[in-house]
Amino acid sequence: MTMDNIAAVLYGPREIRIENRDVPQRRPGDVLVRVLAVGVCGSDVHYYRHAQIGDTRIDKPIILGHEASGVVVEADDGGQLAVGQRVSIEPHRPCGHCRECIAGRYNMCRTVEFLAHPPTDGALAQIIAVPAAFCFPVSDSVSDDEAALVEPLAVGLWAATRTRITAGDRVLVVGAGPIGLLAAQVANAVGATTVIVVDVSTPRINKASTYPGVNGTLLGDVGYSELGEFDVVIECSGAPGALRDAASALAPRGRIAAVGIGRNPLSELDILLIQSRELELYGVYRYAGIYDRAIALLEAGRVDVASLVTHRFPLAQTDEAMSIGETDPDAIKAIIYPQR
């Protein structure tokens, strides 16, 4: 198959080159997808700026982007997916046969590949090869942007699932970025009756308050001790001390999810508080087995992902898309369109 495959490739800090790449080879069970929309995630921006996250560094040029939607352009005959099907792409490619994969915990697979996690190339290209099993059909009511944003929605849904948010729960979400805003909406959708989102940014807090059942509160105006008592905390900021401070707002037997990636060594937590209140701490690392449920929530109108999108760029302006957060305080989610 001869096709152009223009891609945005990161060579080093703030060095994106727009190149024509070979169309990737399909591995067994793969489909080829023409990528329609890619959300820019905080992790993409971090790689863009520093060419590494923690110990994970890029030592060869890499294509970023893991929040993607597209349309199937090549598939096995008789497979689950037909050419022309619009899909939301789950970025995992697990081995499928290790202990974790067999148990359904494929996000814990030791050899899992994940779009845009070095050395695996991501979705900022016109054509990518992905496992058919990780392409989820979406209905016509779901836009290309929304189908791409199923990825951060899945993270929010996974945090709510891990912490078992249920009817009547009081939920505190720390950090009003895309993941926090989506986790808050999911909490409301699954029956939480109090959902408070705290952040230090006024535009983000204002955004949080636009969602039904969600109350944005500016941190600083109000401290954790004045927020009241919560059954669940979803920590999405990764800010130093945030886990410890937010845990102090938990009711007895409260559950706390560590979603935000930062320097939060466990020693920052107050172990005495965890013991005396019998608190439960949950690590949240990506998600497993919930893309179909995230799409169902979206199709049922229980969550609004489209309103997160504040900026849109063609592939040639990937640089601008990666740096918009530095220039526009109202920026929440940028979308890049590889076909434009």
Rounded to 5 degrees, what are φ and ψ at 26? Answer: -75, 135
Q: Which of 70, 91, 94, 238 binds Zn ion (CB under 5 A)?
A: 94
Give min distance, CB of 38 to Zn ion, in A.
10
CB closer to Zn ion out of 186 and 250: 186
Give min distance, CB of 231 to Zn ion, in A.
27
Burial of 266 (C-beta count, 10 Å sphere; 0-12/13-18/19+): exposed
| 231 close to 171: Cβ distance less than 8 angstroms | yes
Give min distance, CB of 256 to Zn ion, in A.
21
Give min distance, CB of 290 to Zn ion, in A.
15
Residue 109 within binding range of Zn ion, rule CB under 5 A: yes
Residue 101 within binding range of Zn ion, rule CB under 5 A: yes
Instruction: Read off the tokens for 11.
Output: 């060579």
Name the β-bridge partners of 92: 114
| Binding piece for Zn ion, criterion CB under 5 A, among 22-30, 49-57, 90-98, 199-207 | 90-98
| Binding piece for Zn ion, criterion CB under 5 A, among 46-54, 105-113, 230-238, 291-299 | 105-113
CB closer to Zn ion out of 109 and 127: 109
Give min distance, CB of 316 to Zn ion, in A.
22
Residue 68 within binding range of Zn ion, rule CB under 5 A: no
Helix axes of 318-327 and 42-50: crossing angle, nearest 10 degrees? 100
Q: What three-state secondary structure class fits 335?
A: strand
CA 75 to chain CA centroid, nearest Å: 27
CB closer to Zn ion out of 185 and 217: 185
CA distance 140 to 58: 37
- The residue written with tokens 């619009």 in the block is 86
CA distance 254 to 282: 11
CB closer to Zn ion out of 6 and 98: 98
Give min distance, CB of 106 to Zn ion, in A.
6
| 180 close to 155: Cβ distance less than 8 angstroms | no
- The residue written with tokens 């209140």 in the block is 277
Give min distance, CB of 240 to Zn ion, in A.
21
CB closer to Zn ion out of 109 and 153: 109
Name the β-bridge partners of 333: 309
CB closer to Zn ion out of 23 and 115: 115
Using the 8-state DSSP alphabet, how is residue 164 labeled? T
Residue 108 within binding range of Zn ion, rule CB under 5 A: no
Instruction: Pick out residues in 19-58 that bind Zn ion (CB under 5 A).
Output: 41
Name the β-bridge partners of 74: 32
Residue 98 within binding range of Zn ion, rule CB under 5 A: yes
Residue 95 within binding range of Zn ion, rule CB under 5 A: yes
Give min distance, CB of 103 to Zn ion, in A.
10
| 284 close to 162: Cβ distance less than 8 angstroms | yes
Residue 259 within binding range of Zn ion, rule CB under 5 A: no
Name the β-bridge partners of 37: 69
CB closer to Zn ion out of 41 and 75: 41
Residues near Zn ion (CB under 5 A) are 41, 94-95, 98, 101, 109
